[in-house]
Amino acid sequence: MAAGQSEASAALTLLSAKAVRERAHRMLGLALHDKLPNFRIRSDRMDGVVDLVLQVTREAYPGLDVPFHSRWRHFVVNGEDRWAPAANRWSDPAARARAEFDLAIISVFLDAGAGPAWRYRDSRSGLDIGRSEGLALASLAMFERGTFSADPRDPLRADGAALVRLAVADVADGLQVSDDNPLVGLEGRVELLRSLGNLVTSRPDVFGRHDTPRPGGLFDHLAGLAESGRLPAPLILSELLLQLGPVWPSRLTLGGIALGDCWRHPALTTGDTTTGLVPLHKLSQWLAYSLIEPLQTAGIYVTDIDGLTGLAEYRNGGLFIDSGVLTFRDPQDALREHEVASPLVVEWRALTVALLDRLAFGMRERLGLDAVSLPLAKILQGGSWAAGRKLARERRSDASPPVKVISDGTVF
């Protein structure tokens, strides 16, 4: 019993941004001593990355008035905020926040990589939009149509009862999936939303305090944790990992606790039961960033935003490979496909998190700013993600990432 409790306590330490950052920097330390099996590091190339990200940021935001990196940026098309008209329908800040939590959670859960071929035809702009932006607009359109609502009179919501019954055909239709427009991991995304529905309906104490159980009920839970109207961003992430942890596919567990986006790497050893474990929590952190604005709109001040880490995904990670900061030990690995759980992918993702911190330091030093005026959330938006995409477009005709990852639609 004591051993089980010890394992559970150790597992909980991995469900935090602090653990992601600490272990990512341990991986970087190994790389700097040339002790990793899959990648070498060229630290002298970092100045060039800082230059590129600054250039891309200034092109997009000449006055460096960069917003936070979040899902809400993807609901803006050609300068038009597609969500704004709906958001203004609520006079009650808490009711609006629940709806915005519903939308953000659903949209992020659908946001794993779409693959290079898929496109969403946006009827309003006439544009064919791929990748994360296309998934965002598709999820917003589905949300506005009431795809996730159990109440036909109230389409702008997601309900646990409706998510449980969600059909693959409904999501395929909303995402415009066809033989000619394939989407990576469609079934995995639908199963994720069904699992979310099951969890929400089984936990009314968390998700149904002021309404029938819905993902947006998490707003009331988080609001209850705020002290004097202030809520630390790392606490948002920890609660997301605790409350939504059972939703994710069964991967690693420790002491009976699901570890989520956490993987094994042989080089990262510790003296306890967490040895070899590398937490990354990419989608959960993306969601944490995306919940900041609804919380703030509802009057809750989110603190320590820089306590979250960079996102271990293929655009940020691709930035460091395509710029030459990271190189494959075996050049053939650039041609092979790799499982998400492979040491190579885990290594790459962890190094990405640590190198984003180094990028942030370099940019602040160059601009004479601090972490308060230029938090990581703005560097990601400005920023590193766009620079990663720019290099991918220059180097590969389909703008695919430099690492070929076999995705199930639930990680990237």
Walk along the chain (412 residues) and give the pLDDT tens digit of each residue. Answer: 445 558 999 999 999 999 999 999 999 999 999 999 999 999 999 999 999 999 999 999 999 999 999 999 999 999 899 999 999 899 999 999 999 999 999 999 998 777 778 999 999 999 999 988 999 999 999 999 999 999 999 999 999 999 999 999 999 999 999 999 998 888 988 999 999 999 999 999 999 999 999 999 999 999 999 999 999 999 999 999 999 988 887 689 999 888 989 999 999 999 899 999 999 999 899 999 999 999 999 999 999 999 999 999 999 999 999 999 999 999 999 999 999 999 999 999 999 999 999 999 999 999 999 998 999 999 999 999 999 999 999 999 988 999 999 876 666 5
| Of 257, 255, 248, nearest in space to 282 by CA | 248
User: Is the separation of the CB atoms in 40 and 333 below 8 Å?
Assistant: no
| Of 234, 218, 229, nearest in space to 376 by CA | 234
Taking the C-alpha atoms of residue 34 and residue 28, their distance in angstroms, rounded to an integer, is 10
| Of 349, 277, 206, 303, nearest in space to 12 by CA | 277
Contacts of 165 (CB under 8 A, 6+ apart): 197
Tokens 């940019």 sit on residue? 363
| Of 112, 129, 111, 109, nearest in space to 176 by CA | 129
Map residue 277 onto helix, strand or coil.
strand
Residue ranges of domains in the chain: 2-406
pTM equals: 0.93
Look up residue 348 and give its two tokens: 């790459």
Phi/psi for 162 (5° steps) reads -75, -40
Tokens 């309900």 sit on residue? 159
Is residue 339 within a helix (H) or strand (E), and if so which, with residue range? strand 337-339
Taking the C-alpha atoms of residue 410 and residue 306, their distance in angstroms, rounded to an integer, is 25
Look up residue 17 and give its two tokens: 């941004």
Q: How many CB atoms lie within 10 A of CB 358?
A: 17
